[in-house]
Amino acid sequence: MSVDLKRTARYTYVDELLRNLGGIPPSRVRLDPTPGTATVRDLIRLWKVEGRMCELVDGTLVAKPMAFDESNIAALILTAIQNFLTTSSLGLVVGEQGMMKLMPGLVRAPDVSFVSWAQLPDRHTTGETVPSLFPELAVEVVSKGNTRREMTRKRKEYFRAGTRLVWQVSARKRTVDVYTAPDQFSALTESDTLDGGDVLPGFALPIRDIFVNVPRKTTKRKYKRR
């Protein structure tokens, strides 16, 4: 996906930009550099200077809306995959700061990513801050600041780049949607077990273990006035 800076910078109104990014809140859009003109170098500089995690989308820096519970869920999934890989050396796993250049002008950082040794034949990382890799498995833990259209766009980009499996996790619903294509998924609940399919053959993780630290929301009873 190439980025035409003249085209992406030609927004008349802010809502046009936000719609293009999936209807995300304006608080997640970085105005410096000007939307439509940002580069990978700007992304790296922001991360190193301010420690703020962003993604690069159509020349615009978009902040990741990761919160405490979502980060904990991502850490649990990452740990389970890492433990699995110690006995089944298929590749490596990285966390929410694992930025990858999926295509020219497009940098995403899934909350958890698995990259097979097929992309790293020397079995070493590239040493680049933003390597040109793609997650064969991408895990996205949906936060309050994410939108449905944003997640749909992300899935399309992942599968276009070469991703074979996407786990979309909802702490609110306590579910995991397993995508094998941008719009093809199976919805798993706490009574199910998550498996790695053809990407991580033999991997298994009970869904209930993913949400072990997330409290259940109690439903308040409504009383009718007499």
So what's the pLDDT on residue 6?
Answer: 41
Tokens of 100: 């990858």
Query: Within 13 Å, how many C-alpha atoms sit on residue 15's CB side?
Result: 0
37-75 residue pLDDT tens: 999 999 999 999 988 899 999 999 999 987 899 999 999
- Asked whether the beta carbons of 216 and 83 are under 8 A apart, the reply is no
Q: pLDDT under 70 in the chain at which residues?
A: 1-10, 218-226
So what's the pLDDT on residue 182?
Answer: 97
Nearest to 29 by CA among 145, 161, 174, 202: 145
- Asked whether the beta carbons of 174 and 40 are under 8 A apart, the reply is no
Residue reference for tokens 């929410």: 96
So what's the pLDDT on residue 13?
Answer: 84
Query: What average pLDDT does the chain have?
Result: 91
So what's the pLDDT on residue 8?
Answer: 44
Q: How far apart are CA 127 and CA 107, in angstroms?
A: 16
So what's the pLDDT on residue 221?
Answer: 56
Phi (first) and psi of residue 198, to 5 degrees: -80, -10
So what's the pLDDT on residue 224?
Answer: 55
Structural domain 68-210, CATH architecture: Alpha-Beta Complex (3.90)
- Intervals of CATH 3.90.1570.10 along the chain: 68-210
So what's the pLDDT on residue 216?
Answer: 85
So what's the pLDDT on residue 211?
Answer: 96
Q: Which spans in the chain are helix H?
A: 5-8, 14-20, 40-50, 68-87, 148-161, 207-210
So what's the pLDDT on residue 72?
Answer: 95
